[in-house]
């Protein structure tokens, strides 16, 4: 069974830190770029960060750049998001997603998603 | 950054109706356009990638079209399980991999 399982969310005070994890099973992990996408309560999807297959290249949304760090451990099939200097506006459900590219067309999409882990930033 | 705008933001329709949701990019995205379906309390699900290619297992009543900056998702005959929120996403100029604001499809 294909699974991406996020964990590590919770209630944290403004300025605090959290580390999210995303454990992959039943799917190819090590050869795919991986992403974090968040969704504030009642709002739409917002891309947060991505990491390439060997972890040598990362990218971030401007809203989290300098505060969040994405990483991966291919031996453990696990993706991470280290979140520092958290703000109220970071409150959201955080999803991990696998990126895939169609061999023939080159089109890129997110084909597997976890169920999300909720981060609440509040005093 | 490329901005994605969906319309309408919400839509009421009946089972059996044909519905179309549109998505406009702020600049050409060379057909790097994906559609996702999200049901309440669930993770998004990939429906269509590259404008018109159905992901494995997605019913054929879903179709996508468009080019350049203007795209659409059509459901030919709505089924009860299709009532959900739909998002478009561009993956051409990334990061960021921007999503549209979503279209909530409700039962009339």
Q: Which residue of A has its CA nearest to B91?
A: A108
Contact predicate A63/A36, CB 8 Å: no
SS (H, E, C) A62-122: CCCCCCEEEEEECCCCEEEEEECCCCHHHCEEEEEEEEEECCCCCCEEEEEECCCEEEEEC
Cis peptide before B8 (omega within 30 of 0): yes
Q: What is the rounded average pLDDT of the residues B15-42?
A: 97
Q: Which residues of A touch B (CB under 8 A)?
A: 35, 37, 44-47, 50, 59-62, 95, 97, 102, 105, 107-111, 113-116
Contact B101/A at CB under 8 A: yes
pLDDT digits (tens, 9 = 90+) for A27-65: 888 899 999 999 999 999 999 999 999 999 999 999 999
Q: What is the rounded average pLDDT of the residues B89-99?
A: 94
- The tokens describing A103, both together, are 């061999």
Instruction: Out of A44, A47, A116, name the one closest to residue B97 (CB).
Output: A47
Question: Could you give the percent of chain B with pLDDT greater than 90?
Answer: 95
The residues that bridge with A83 in the sheet, in sequence order, are A18, A68
The pLDDT, as a whole number, for residue A39 is: 98
Q: Which pLDDT band, with edges at 50, 70 and 90, does A14 fall under?
A: very high
Q: Which residue of A has its CA nearest to B94?
A: A59
The pLDDT, as a whole number, for residue B76 is: 97
Contact predicate B23/B71, CB 8 Å: yes
- The tokens describing A37, both together, are 């996408």
In DSSP notation, B67-101 reads ETTEEEEEESS--GGG-SEEEEEE-SS-SS--B--
Contact B8/A at CB under 8 A: no
- Quote the CA–CA distance of A6 and A24 in Å, as a whole number: 9
The pLDDT, as a whole number, for residue B90 is: 98
Contact B53/A at CB under 8 A: yes
Q: Which pLDDT band, with edges at 50, 70 and 90, does B16 fall under?
A: very high
- Quote the CA–CA distance of B6 and A17 in Å, as a whole number: 34
Nearest Cα residue to A77 out of A43, A100, A53, A60: A53
The residues that bridge with A37 in the sheet, in sequence order, are A47, A95
Contact predicate A58/A74, CB 8 Å: no
pLDDT digits (tens, 9 = 90+) for B61-72: 999 999 999 999
Q: Which residue of A has its CA nearest to B101?
A: A44
The pLDDT, as a whole number, for residue A29 is: 82
DSSP B55: P
- Quote the CA–CA distance of B65 and A10 in Å, as a whole number: 41
Q: Give yes or no for residue A4 having a pLDDT over 90.
A: yes
Q: Which pLDDT band, with edges at 50, 70 and 90, does B94 fall under?
A: confident
Q: Give yes or no for residue A16 having a pLDDT over 90.
A: yes
pLDDT digits (tens, 9 = 90+) for A67-100: 999 999 999 999 999 999 999 999 999 999 999 9
Q: Which pLDDT band, with edges at 50, 70 and 90, does B17 fall under?
A: very high
Q: Which pLDDT band, with edges at 50, 70 and 90, does B101 fall under?
A: very high
- Quote the CA–CA distance of A106 and A113 in Å, as a whole number: 20
Whether the CA torsion B94, B100, B101, B105 is positive or negative: it is negative
The pLDDT, as a whole number, for residue B99 is: 98
The pLDDT, as a whole number, for residue A30 is: 86
């Amino acid at each position: 069974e294909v699974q991406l399982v996020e964990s590590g969310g919770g209630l944290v005070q403004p300025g605090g830190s959290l580390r999210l994890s995303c454990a992959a099973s039943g799917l190819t992990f090590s050869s795919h770029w991986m992403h974090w996408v968040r969704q504030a309560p009642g709002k739409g999807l917002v891309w947060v960060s991505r990491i390439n297959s060997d972890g040598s290249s990362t990218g971030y949304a401007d809203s989290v750049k300098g505060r969040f760090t994405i990483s991966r451990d291919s031996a453990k099939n696990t993706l991470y998001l280290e979140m520092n200097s958290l703000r109220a506006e970071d409150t959201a459900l955080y999803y991990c997603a696998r990126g895939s590219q169609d061999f023939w067309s080159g089109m890129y999409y997110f084909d597997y998603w976890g169920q999300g882990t909720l981060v609440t930033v509040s005093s | 950054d490329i901005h994605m705008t969906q319309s309408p933001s919400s839509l009421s329709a009946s089972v059996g109706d044909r519905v179309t949701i549109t998505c406009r990019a702020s600049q050409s995205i060379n057909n790097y356009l994906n559609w996702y379906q999200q049901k309440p309390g669930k993770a998004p699900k990939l429906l269509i990638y590259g404008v018109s290619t159905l992901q494995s297992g997605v019913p054929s009543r879903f179709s996508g079209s468009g080019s350049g900056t203007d795209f659409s998702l059509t459901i030919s005959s709505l089924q009860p399980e299709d009532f959900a929120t739909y998002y478009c996403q561009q993956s051409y100029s990334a990061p960021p991999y921007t999503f549209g604001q979503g279209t909530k499809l409700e039962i009339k």
